[in-house]
Chains A and B, each alone.
Chain A
Amino acid sequence: MLKAILQIAGIFVLLLVLTLITLTLKNRNADGPSVLFPGGALVSGELHAGPDPDWSFTDDVFVIELQTNSPISSRRIFVMESDGKVYVPSGYMRSFLGKLWKEWAFQVEDGSSLVVARINGVRYERDLQRISDPSVVAGVAEKLAQKYAGGASPEAVAQIEQSVADGDTWIFEMAPRS
Chain B
Amino acid sequence: MNNVTYAKLCGGVSLVWVLGLLLVPPFAEIVEQLMLLFLSTNAR
Contacts and interface: CB of A to CB of B under 8 A. Distances in A.
Interface of A: 3-4, 7, 10-11, 14-15, 18-19, 22-23, 26, 34-37, 92, 95-98, 101
A15 B10 CA distance: 9
A97 B29 contact: no
The main secondary structure of chain B at its interface with chain A is helix
Interface string B22-44: 10000011011101100100111
Contacts of A34: 28-29, 32
Nearest to B42: A97
The main secondary structure of chain A at its interface with chain B is helix
Contacts of A96: 43
Nearest to B29: A35
A11 B18 CA distance: 13
A2 B21 CA distance: 30
6 contacts: A10-B10, A11-B10, A11-B13, A14-B14, A23-B28, A96-B43
A19 B22 contact: no
Contact of A36 (B13, B21, B32): B32
A97 B39 contact: yes
B13 to A, nearest CB: 6
Nearest to A98: B43
A8 to B, nearest CB: 10
